Amino acid sequence: MWSHNEIRNKFLEFFEKRGHLRLPSASLIPEYDPTLLLTNSGMAPLKPYFLGQKNPPSLRLTDVQKCVRTDDIDEVGDIHHLTFFEMLGNWSIGQIGKPFGKEGRGPYFKKEACEFALELLREFGIDQGKLYFGVFGGDSGMSSVPPDNETRQIWLDLGIRSERILGLPLKDSFWFSGPQGPCGPNTDVLYDLGPEFGCGRADCGPTHDCGRFLEIWNAGVFMTYERKADGSLESLPIKSVDAGAGLERFAMVLQGGKSAYDTDLFKPLISEIESLAKITAERVNERSVRIIADHVRASTFLASDGLVPSNVEAGYVMRRLIRRAIAHGHLLGIEGYFVSELSETVVNEFQEAYPNLAQTHSVIHELLEDEEKKFGDVLKRGMAELDKYLRKNPNKKVGGDFAFRLYDSLGFPVDLTVDLAKAKGFDVDVAAFEENLARQKDRSRDARAATAYDPEKIKTAHTAAHLLNAALKKILGLEVHQMGQKISEKSFRHDFNFSRKLTDVELAKVEELVNRAIAQNLPVECLTTSFEEARSQGAEALFEEKYQSVDRVTLYRIGPEKTTGEYFSKELCGGPHAHYTGELKRFKIVKEEAVSSGVRRIRGEVEG
């Protein structure tokens, strides 16, 4: 049986042997993509390569990318939906004038992508007799994009019988990276899990989404278009392949599990939850157990990438995940702070694939426990308000406005309202709750659009963040490290490990040191070097694993200072940065605050 570590390794080695450069997973927090709150697919961090905006380190790439998608968060708890998942990916980035081919390191296209998929499925020992293949079947609203008969013919040439090749509708066979961005028709591999997984209808078939036919591999999005802001499709100058397979689905098939939760990716966590809840076979509440397992996994990975729960944007997504997990723990009768406890199991299970989990595990624990402490109060207050409301409403109905108020003002999850109300024979008007929520989402989307900033203008704030990081180390000690960062046009926030509030004197010294570096108009140098060389020069790196396995890293050095001859700051980073510190004019600390125990945050602003 293939363990999850073996599946990742096999996938990466297969593509490495075929000329692909192995990349480490990018952070779940997109670095320079204001269109995304969280990394939601394997290709998200690679978008500039498909658009021809940036040169890739290799024309063939492979990785296993951590992803979070919360569009279906309310469905989590059934046997399929997950918020955190890993995407096994292989990519070919086209180049004008370079012919496609399967061998070597150059680009490839449809034929080679299909051949690779079939070969690897065979090497995994997957029974070809259970496979179906979807291709883009055309769409009346997209007359400029013809049905993908070319890919149909490729599968036929590879020996797939025609009845196994399905022309699928747009929603299943054309992949968009977002409302704007690269996109194209795709070809899916579907796996027949067997009649016991399906609806049992006599006419049930691979195009029926009852659960029997599982999409295990998007064997290639053929990236040939860019969707513009007005919705129109423009042909891209290069043709690329973006292929992705969900690790959880591969594990389910290769381990013969009944669901993603029935694999070694989840089993240790699930048995831990069951033992905390003292669940016996008779009273097992699988839905709550699964919700806790999924949300703890997602929150642990988000914390390891430096995200902190808050009331806005990605921080709010994280807060919601943690709070739902806590609420469901309450429903199962689990006592004490258990989310932080369970994060240790996630760290143990996944640290081989993601070494930064082990490096950050104490911070993860503290951050989650802190949120558990905060939510303990909310839970008590929410339950008291709900009880009062239920006593006053003999009609056995909970209004959507009230459920939304609990959710919006206290952060009390609606599913907990539903579950608690149901236990007392009440129904919640979830549709009215959803209407309230949709109105709120529109408001926050408008606010986000109004603050979207320009993947160029953030460079001075970015350079200021490096200066601040270096100044903190000089004033507070070398053991102070960056824990997370969010940069916008003229301001940024910088999280770091430190156990207490900074004194006014310390803050003034840090600010002064940064402004002194600005006044010296120090050059900002960008060098490409190896990770080892950068580390031996004492460079800082936030996500070490991201850099450890790549051949070349980008090192930004600020300095040297005239007085000491030493560099003020050395940090690995993707940029962009100012060329000279003098471009910054002046730096100001706006606020210093606690994020959780052991983690502080400085909000800074920069002129210039």
Residues near 47 by beta carbon (within 8 Å), at least 6 away in sequence: 33, 177, 181, 182
Residue 265 structure tokens: 């990716």
Burial of 162 (0-12, 13-18, 19+ CB in 10 A): exposed
Give min distance, CB of 585 to ligand SER, in A.
42
Q: Which is nearer to ligand SER, 242 or 592 (CB)?
A: 242
CA-based nearest residue to 408, from 388, 429, 378: 378
Q: Tell me the C-alpha distance between 17 and 294, whole Å.
A: 33
d(CA 380, CA 133): 51
Residue 78, C-beta contacts closer than 8 angstroms, at least 6 positions apart: 287, 290
Which of 243, 363 has the CB closer to ligand SER?
243
Residue closer to ligand SER (CB basis): 94 or 244:
244
Provide, rounded to whole angstroms, the least separation between the CB of residue 375 and ligand SER.
32
**CB-based contact 104:19 (threshold 8 Å):** yes
Go through the chain and tell me how many residues it has. Answer: 608
Dmax over CA atoms of the chain, in Å, equals 83
For ligand SER, which is the closer residue by CB, 19 or 184? 184
The type of residue at 299 is: S
Shortest Cβ distance from residue 76 to ligand SER (Å)? 18
Contact 559, 470 (CB under 8 A): no
Q: How far is the CB of 73 from ligand SER (least distance, A)?
A: 18
Residue where the block lists tokens 């009230």? 402
Nearer residue to ligand SER within complex by CB, 73 or 367:
73
> What CA–CA distance (Å, rounded) separates 511 from 468?
8
Residues of the shown chain interacting with ligand SER in the complex, contacts defined by CB under 6 A: 41-43, 89, 175, 218, 221, 242-244
Euclidean distance between CA atoms 113 and 241, whole angstroms? 7
CB of 212 or CB of 249, closer to ligand SER: 249
Residue 206 identity (one-letter amino acid): P
For the CB of residue 220, give the shortest distance to ligand SER in the complex, in Å.
8
Q: Is residue 69 classed as helix, strand or coil in its secondary structure?
A: coil
Listed in order, strand segments (DSSP E) in 338-474 are 397-398, 427-428
* Sequence-ordered list of residues with C-beta below 8 angstroms from that of 238, at least 6 positions apart, any chain: 50, 52, 93, 94, 95, 96
3-class DSSP assignment, residue 231: coil
State how far the Cα of 249 lies from the Cα of 263, in Å rounded to an integer. 9
Shortest distance (Å) from residue 63 CB to ligand SER: 11
In angstroms, what is the minimal distance from the CB of 246 to ligand SER?
Answer: 8
Q: Which helix (H) or strand (E) element contains residue 522?
A: none
To ligand SER, the closest distance from the beta carbon of 65 in angstroms equals 9
DSSP-derived pairing of the beta strands 397-398 and 427-428: parallel
Residue nearest to ligand SER as judged by C-beta position: 244
Tell me whether residue 72 or residue 532 sits nearer to ligand SER (CB atom): 72
Closest separation between CB of residue 176 and ligand SER, Å? 9
Instruction: Please say which residue, 41 or 482, places its beta carbon nearer to ligand SER.
Output: 41
Residue with smaller CB distance to ligand SER, 42 or 257: 42
Bridge partners of 85, per DSSP, are 67
Structure tokens at 375: 């939510």
DSSP 102: S
Q: Where are the beta strands (DSSP E) in 248-391?
A: none
175 vs 496, beta carbon nearer ligand SER? 175
DSSP 123-164: HTT--GGGEEEEEE---TT-TTS---HHHHHHHHHTT--GGG
Residue 407 beta carbon to ligand SER: minimum distance, rounded to whole angstroms: 30
| CB nearer to ligand SER: pick between 220 and 413 | 220
Q: How far is the CB of 215 from ligand SER (least distance, A)?
A: 9
Name the residue nearer to ligand SER (CB basis): 41 or 83: 41
Nearer to ligand SER, 243 or 253 (CB): 243
The nearest distance, CB 16 to ligand SER, in angstroms, is: 18
Least CB distance from residue 175 to ligand SER, whole Å? 5
30 in Cβ contact with 38 (< 8 Å)? yes
Distance CA 106, CA 431 (A): 52
